[in-house]
A and B are shown apart, each in its own frame.
Chain A
Amino acid sequence: MNEMLDYLVLNSPALVVAIPLLGAFLTPLVGMINGKLRNLFVIFITLLTGFFAVLLANDVFTNGIRTYVFGNSSPMTNPVVRIFFEVDGMSAFMALIAVILPIVAVIYSWAFMEKETGLNKYYTLILLMTTGMLGMVLTGDMFNFFVFLEITSIATAALVAFWTNKKNSVQAAFKYIVISSIGALFVLFAIAIFYGQYNALNMAVIANSISYSFLDKIALGLLIAALAMKAAIAPMHMWLPDTYSGAPSSVTVVIVGTTLASLYGVFRILFTVYGRQLLTIMRQIGEFSVTSSIVLGVFIVILATITIVIGVFMALKSNDFKRMIGYVAVAEIGYMALAVGSAISTFHIADGTAAVQMTSYGEMALTGGIFHMINDALDIGLLFLVAGAIYYATKETSLNRLGGLSRKMKYTTVFFLIALFAASGLPPLNGFASKLIIYQSIYQVNPILTIVAILCSIMILAVFVKVFHSAFLGPKLPSLKNVKEVPKSMLISMGILAFLIILFGLFPEYIINNIVEPAVNALSNPGSYISAIVGGA
């Protein structure tokens, strides 16, 4: 039994990607037999993927980095001709996010998409999206990252346009595919620059050889701009509210994960691939050395602050529930970027060693930022499921035409309140813990940042108070007299996310020590990621 489990753990990096990929191609075949059987099959596939992701994460969190070679595994002299999956704490952490969201999405879809046609294609694309997302976060190969990025983008665009009879959905899909294609093109351009210089595509090999030449700086600019656009950092965020509001809610939940996977790409490039090179001195002003890390860190902090402000201001003005959550999602991305930008700006060489270090508050900011990633996935995910539930029950997304829903949709109201408290960073739910860490750590970078961050968090609360008042409170509206609570499968999905939100909120120390810290350590010690492939200390 133990041998069997060891064997499964050994092959889990491949299985986590292979299972949803094979499942995607089998789905139409199963769907030809029976619709319910297909739904069960897709739920089984996502749960099985989740099982292997948890096995893999547990192994990585306990035993350290895992590598998996596709192709010739020996000799290890030329990594170029093979594809490596390299799973460190950060990858494993992201894999957990990338499996939770599809699991709730497919359970939710059972009832939410029941009356739709073309569900074989729908579920195939959901599984392809999952494959792409997992591939992006597990691969250790730059070109492979690009391939999975493309798989994710194409599957996402097709799913955003799933409701082809809706103008907004088709338009949103068009915008998404244009933005994604341009982003991916520049990522490919950067990869070509690396390949041309170092004859390598493996991230660890590139990180080991990188010299921060003129071409490397171009590649850095291309990668950061392209992945930041995919992660919806302002002013490149505008596609996100369009896409999130245009897609069916069950799809939007998974797109939240793909956006975070792109943000992961930014982290991987900055911390692992470039890492030490960011300490290159750009200018000397007296005794103060202006390094690339300071310049980039400050730039990211500025963009992040703009992202938060634009996100909350636009959300407050929106009257379409899904578009409003889209803008809040933009603001939440800003919080993560703010934390990571602050962390990067504190890069320095450790005394007596050659290792790159962050200050204690820099590490704390990184912890807060990474913890906020999983909290954001859960909170925003739950909000979109609630929005979907309201749409399912009323066929409305405009808050102006909603009211009094709490009288008929009691469970949905409770789930909304949980999401409201969590996304607004109110204690004792998960959003509070991560935002508290972010506030305290960025205070040491600049107190004004903390003030802006707290004020914007209060505004997020105001946004959702508006939703609560408009949609859930008030008298029963005559137009909504036939509204009733949503089916069980949708309630179960919302319940899973609500349970995780409460769990993460009540035991932040446990979650941080066991899930977040390994991810932080993986990013702050790129040496171990590099040495797992190229050898040496």
Chain B
Amino acid sequence: MIDQLISTFETGNGFWNPLIWITSFVIAFLIIYILRGFGKKDYKKGTGQTQVFLSGNPEYEKEKMHVKASNVYWGFTEALKWIYNLFKKIHTGNTSDYVLWFVVIMAVLFLILGVI
């Protein structure tokens, strides 16, 4: 039973063993943690070191600084506007359009199966 649990999974072209992965991850974490210990220890809480620097502009209240979901990935969605316009056009929310797509796929299936 334990042999089965810890055995390595052969994927056909490689292998995957989560336990080895976790062990490697823990070792890497420990090495990083030790290296971190060699860093400078001159961090002073509550001084200018901890304040946000916005190119000299004043810092707004934290609630106003939080980036809202609709602004996240704005650049990505803007650059791929043409794809989004296409997808938006398809997603009409109209039930009869949903059924239309079903009819289209059924017709294509009939076509490729040699029915029509």
Size range of the chain B interface in the assembly: 35 or more
**A508 at the A/B interface (Cβ < 8 Å)?**
yes
B51 to chain A, nearest CB (A): 16
The total of Cβ contacts below 8 Å across the A-B interface reads: 156
Residues of A within 8 A of B108 (CB): 299
Whether A182 lies near B77 (C-beta < 8 A) is no
Most chain B C-beta atoms within 10 Å of own C-beta, residue among A292, A399, A510 = A510
**B79 at the A/B interface (Cβ < 8 Å)?**
no
A433–B102 alpha-carbon span in the complex (Å): 33
Name the one of B4, B19, B67 contacting A506, with C-beta atoms under 8 angstroms: B19
A527 to chain B, nearest CB (A): 24
Whether B105 lies near A217 (C-beta < 8 A) is no
CB under 8 Å from chain A, chain B span 54-103: 62-63, 65-70, 72-73, 76-77, 80, 83-84, 87, 90-91, 93, 95, 97-99, 101-102
Whether B69 lies near A400 (C-beta < 8 A) is yes
**B46 at the A/B interface (Cβ < 8 Å)?**
no
**B35 at the A/B interface (Cβ < 8 Å)?**
no
A474–B110 alpha-carbon span in the complex (Å): 53
Whether A428 lies near B22 (C-beta < 8 A) is yes
CB under 8 Å from chain B, chain A span 478-521: 478, 505-510, 512-513
A225–B66 alpha-carbon span in the complex (Å): 45
Contact with B along A295-336 (1 / 0, CB 8 A): 110010001000000100110110100000000000000000
Residues of B within 8 A of A292 (CB): 113
**B38 at the A/B interface (Cβ < 8 Å)?**
no
**B29 at the A/B interface (Cβ < 8 Å)?**
no
Whether A319 lies near B70 (C-beta < 8 A) is yes
Whether A310 lies near B87 (C-beta < 8 A) is yes
The interface stretch among A99-107, A381-389, A435-443 is A435-443
Whether A474 lies near B84 (C-beta < 8 A) is no
Given A235-B104, A364-B11: A313 touches B84 (CB 8 Å cut-off):
yes
**A360 at the A/B interface (Cβ < 8 Å)?**
yes
CB under 8 Å from chain B, chain A span 169-191: 174-175, 178-179, 182-183, 186
Residues of A within 8 A of B69 (CB): 319, 398-400, 402, 466-467, 469-471
**A30 at the A/B interface (Cβ < 8 Å)?**
no
A223 to chain B, nearest CB (A): 10
Residues of B within 8 A of A214 (CB): 115
Whether A218 lies near B110 (C-beta < 8 A) is yes
A433–B105 alpha-carbon span in the complex (Å): 32
**B106 at the A/B interface (Cβ < 8 Å)?**
yes
**A224 at the A/B interface (Cβ < 8 Å)?**
yes
Name the one of B5, B9, B101 contacting A512, with C-beta atoms under 8 angstroms: B9
A317–B88 alpha-carbon span in the complex (Å): 10
Contact with B along A401-414 (1 / 0, CB 8 A): 01110000000000
Given A217-B115, A228-B105: A475 touches B87 (CB 8 Å cut-off):
no
Whether B12 lies near A235 (C-beta < 8 A) is no
Residue of A nearest to B84 (CB): A317
7 inter-chain pairs at a CB distance below 8 angstroms, sorted by A residue, are A217-B114, A242-B93, A299-B109, A317-B84, A432-B16, A469-B69, A474-B67
